[in-house]
């Protein structure tokens, strides 16, 4: 949820840290801070706001020193205040720490440290790390790191700078990656933190500690035993994280979908065969994910049942501790995640793995924790998704799901898949109707989205986009449930979006539209077929294979949410209170 970065090298640290934090800001963006080491002392500058704003106010990038750490925060413990921003210092200002995760036993540690005479400056759980390091610093940095990690409960990745100019990091259930450059080292929560400077990375494992001292790197575990990890070359192109000609990353990513769905469909023969074999031979299949990725899981379940005759159970990752508590050992759990770091998804995977299940993963970040613990993974190949709202990663997941299903049904979808790219291009090009609808809806307070069958997950996904980006109450409803309750909500000021392509669900959904219209609500149809019942019609292309409609239905909803966010002066890339990667429970 937060981004952390450390640098020790031949260049001035502060401008590099600010640049890295800007690139990782999507992970959390309520406060910013940097600590640098220079001339035997540690300086800290921090405050609330976004990276560029705080840098402008505090001139962070002008701080001296070639060693430093930095952080962008997504508040968990303690409000959004300057004091709660990281880095946090120990009492003697001899150590400063940045942290991502949650220290579950921070209250007892804080009490113990307070009794021992330590004074706390913030309300955060993270600050205990700095004080613990100070307590254990007597025998040097190595011992301080080991003893501190042994006292912490919860999930964390942290990086500390010490008064001798050493930087050190540790990880437990939160990612931490070392960037190895020609002229220095980085310790970061994300490869994007250093990709501009080096594509050589060392991925730390759970329970690893690293120390960069005198320009040499040392990695060992919590028992002090040295561990060796290979240097991996990271493949992503840096250009991908720039906005280019677009006003926002989200808009760029919506537009990129015509290409990303094609990339997602291309897979290595051997890996996809292994993936499909494991899936086809499993006794039971479970599919899990969170948020948008869970909506992909719902569509995957439908596709598997219809075309591959495989019955699967979908489980929202946050519910898995109950739903996956007892599964057979020869099960397969398919996890879907853009980031590969979502804590709830990791929990589901560990739970299933511990019971002997095989883990198959659909992921965008192939260097992520989930990719490292799965039995086989397929990449959506979308490139970095920076906007907090999942857009291209969702359609990438769908394109990949269609590809997997096509394998399982021995090519039954192959011809139809060719029409994706053109269809998506057409949807993206015809934004005028979305703009008109956005204009009508800009002050509305309640939006309902209705769809049946494979369109129901898109009703859920559209509602999620509208809540997340436009801060409006939006609800996805299975259209058949209308008369069982939601019809009571239909009145003059409600807007209802019907997901209604011309497939076997069309007639029933049109009947619902009439029922809604009769109650005075405004009806918007997303369909390839015009109908008089719609007050507004958003046209989508006609597709040969009806199961592919979700991919063209969701794009107008993404655009609508984006336009409504702009109308409300909300930043579509950084929705309030949210972070891209939810690495805490």
User: Is position 388 an interface residue for ligand M6R (rule: CB under 6 A)?
Assistant: yes
Q: Are 340 and 371 in contact (CB under 8 A)?
A: yes
Measured CA to CA, the distance from residue 16 to residue 531 in angstroms comes to: 56
Q: What tokens were used for 77?
A: 């413990």
Return the closest-CA partner of residue 190 out of 349, 347, 70, 65: 70
CB of 466 to ligand M6R, least distance (A): 11
Nearer to ligand M6R (CB atom), residue 229 or residue 585: 585
d(CA 486, CA 478): 10
The 8 Å CB, 24+ separation contacts for 564-571 are 564/438, 564/441, 564/442, 564/466, 564/469, 564/470, 564/472, 565/469, 565/470, 565/471, 567/438, 567/442, 567/470, 568/442, 568/470, 568/471, 570/469, 570/470, 570/471, 571/248
E strand or H helix that includes residue 280: helix 269-280
153 is catalytic: no
Can you spell out the DSSP letters for 146-157? HHHHHH--EEEE
Site for ligand M6R in 532-561 (CB under 6 A): none
Q: Is 442 one of the catalytic residues?
A: no
Q: Which stretch binds ligand M6R (CB under 6 A): 284-292, 350-358, 481-489, 545-553?
A: 284-292
- Beta carbon of residue 407, minimum distance to ligand M6R (angstroms, whole number): 23
> With CB under 6 A, what is the number of residues at the site for ligand M6R?
16
Q: Which is nearer to ligand M6R, 20 or 338 (CB)?
A: 338
In the complex with ligand M6R, which residue's Cβ is closer, 69 or 297? 297
Shortest distance, position 71 Cβ to ligand M6R, whole Å: 21
Residue 556 parent element (H or E)? helix 549-567
**In the window 467-506, what residues touch ligand M6R (CB under 6 A)?**
468
Stretch in the footprint of ligand M6R (CB under 6 A) among 82-90, 275-283, 388-396, 473-481:
388-396
CB atoms within 10 A of CB 233: 9
Q: How far apart are CA 531 and CA 198, in angstroms?
A: 55
| 8 Å CB contact between 304 and 282 | no
SS3 assignment, position 195: coil
Binds ligand M6R (CB under 6 A): choice among 389, 400, 466, 565? 389
Interface residues for ligand M6R in 288-317 (CB under 6 A)? 290-293
Of the pair 100, 292, the CB lying nearest ligand M6R is at 292
Cβ neighbour number for residue 138 with a 10 Å cutoff:
9
User: Coil, strand or helix: which one is 267?
Assistant: coil
Residue positions counted in the chain = 585
Instruction: Please tell me which residue in 2, 149, 276, 382 is annotated as part of the active site.
Output: 2
- Cβ-based nearer residue to ligand M6R, 155 or 293: 293
- Looking at the Cβ atoms of 8 and 73, the one nearer to ligand M6R is 73
At its nearest, how many Å lie between ligand M6R and the CB of residue 557? 11
- State the minimum distance, in angstroms, from the CB of residue 574 to ligand M6R: 11
58: enclosing H helix or E strand: helix 51-58
Binders of ligand M6R among residues 24 to 83 (CB under 6 A) are: none
Burial 422-457 (b: 16+ CB within 10 A, else e): ebbeebbebbebbeebbeebeebebbbbbbbbbbbb
Quote the DSSP letter at residue 204: P
Burial of 148 (0-12, 13-18, 19+ CB in 10 A): buried
Q: How far is the CB of 457 from ligand M6R (least distance, A)?
A: 13
3-class DSSP state of 162: strand
Binding mask 325-344 for ligand M6R (x = CB under 6 A): ------------xxx--x--
SS (H, E, C) 491-536: CCCCEEEEECCCCCCHHHHHHHHHHHHHCCCEEEEEECCCCCCCCE
Residues 443-462 that bind ligand M6R (CB under 6 A): none
Nearer CB in complex with ligand M6R: 198/364: 364
State the minimum distance, in angstroms, from the CB of residue 339 to ligand M6R.
3
Task: Return d(Cα 52, Cα 343) in angstroms, integer.
Answer: 29
Nearest residue to ligand M6R by CB is 291
Closer residue to ligand M6R, CB minimum distance, 317 or 512: 317
C-alpha 287/C-alpha 316 separation (Å) is: 8
How far apart are CB 344 and ligand M6R at their closest, in Å?
Answer: 8
H helical segments located in 69-166: 106-115, 127-135, 141-151
CB closer to ligand M6R out of 8 and 392? 392
Query: Whose Cβ is closer to ligand M6R: residue 332's or residue 363's?
Result: 363
- Residue 159 Cβ, how far from ligand M6R at the closest point, in Å? 23
For residue 87, whether the previous peptide bond is cis, meaning omega lies within 30 degrees of 0, is yes
User: Least distance to ligand M6R from the beta carbon of 530, Å?
Assistant: 30
- Binding region for ligand M6R (CB under 6 A): 290-293, 337-339, 342, 345, 388-390, 464, 468, 581-582
Catalytic residues: 2, 580
């Amino acid at each position: 949820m937060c981004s952390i970065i450390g640098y020790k090298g031949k260049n001035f640290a502060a401008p590099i840290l600010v640049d890295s934090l800007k690139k990782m800001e999507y992970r959390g963006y309520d406060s910013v801070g940097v600590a640098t080491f220079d001339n035997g002392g540690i300086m800290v500058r921090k405050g609330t706001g976004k990276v560029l704003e705080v840098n402008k106010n505090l001139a962070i990038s002008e701080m001296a020193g070639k060693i430093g750490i930095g952080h962008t925060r997504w508040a968990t413990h303690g409000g959004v205040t300057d004091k709660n921003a990281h880095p946090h210092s120990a009492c003697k200002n001899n150590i400063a720490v940045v942290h991502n995760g949650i220290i579950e036993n921070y209250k007892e540690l804080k009490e113990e440290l307070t009794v021992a005479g330590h004074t706390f400056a913030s309300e955060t759980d993270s600050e205990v790390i700095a004080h613990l390091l100070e307590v254990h610093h007597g025998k040097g940095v190595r011992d301080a790191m080991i003893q501190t990690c042994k006292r912490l409960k919860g999930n964390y990745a942290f990086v500390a700078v010490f008064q001798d100019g050493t930087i050190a990091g540790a990880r437990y259930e939160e990612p931490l990656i070392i960037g190895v450059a020609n002229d220095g080292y980085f310790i970061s929560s994300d490869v994007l933190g250093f990709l501009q400077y080096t594509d050589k990375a060392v991925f730390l494992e759970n329970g690893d500690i690293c120390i960069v001292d005198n320009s040499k790197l040392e990695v060992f575990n919590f028992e002090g035993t040295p561990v060796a990890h290979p240097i991996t070359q990271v493949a992503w192109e840096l250009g991908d994280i720039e906005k280019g000609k677009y006003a926002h990353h989200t808009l760029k990513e919506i537009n990129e979908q015509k290409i990303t769905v094609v990339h997602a469909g291309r897979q290595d023969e051997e890996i996809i065969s292994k993936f499909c074999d494991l899936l086809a031979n499993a006794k039971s299949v479970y599919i899990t994910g969170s948020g948008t990725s869970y909506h992909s899981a719902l569509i995957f379940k439908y596709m598997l049942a219809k075309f591959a005759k495989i019955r699967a159970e979908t489980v929202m990752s946050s519910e898995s501790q109950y739903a996956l508590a007892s599964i057979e050992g020869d099960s397969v759990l398919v996890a879907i995640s853009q980031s590969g770091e979502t804590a709830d998804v990791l929990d589901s995977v560990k739970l299933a793995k511990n019971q002997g299940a095989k883990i198959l993963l659909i992921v965008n970040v192939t260097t992520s924790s989930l990719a490292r613990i799965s039995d086989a993974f397929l990449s959506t190949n979308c490139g970095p998704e920076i906007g907090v709202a999942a857009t291209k990663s969702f359609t990438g997941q769908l394109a990949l799901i269609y590809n997997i299903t096509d394998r399982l049904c021995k090519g039954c979808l192959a011809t139809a898949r060719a029409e994706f790219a053109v269809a998506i291009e057409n949807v993206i090009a015809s934004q005028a109707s979305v703009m008109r609808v956005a204009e009508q809806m800009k002050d509305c307070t309640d939006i309902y989205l209705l769809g049946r069958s494979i369109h129901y997950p898109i009703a859920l996904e559209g509602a999620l986009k509208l809540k997340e980006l436009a801060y409006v109450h939006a609800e996805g409803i299975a259209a058949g449930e209308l008369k069982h309750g939601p019809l009571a909500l239909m009145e003059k000021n409600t807007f209802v979006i019907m997901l209604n392509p011309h497939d076997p669900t069309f007639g029933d959904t049109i009947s619902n539209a009439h029922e809604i219209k009769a109650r005075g609500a405004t009806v918007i149809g997303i369909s390839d077929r015009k109908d008089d019942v719609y007050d507004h019609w958003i046209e989508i292309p006609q597709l040969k294979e009806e199961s592919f409609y979700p991919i063209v239905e969701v794009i107008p909803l993404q655009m609508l949410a984006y336009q409504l966010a702009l109308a409300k002066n909300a930043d579509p890339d950084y929705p309030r209170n949210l972070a891209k990667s939810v690495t805490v429970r």
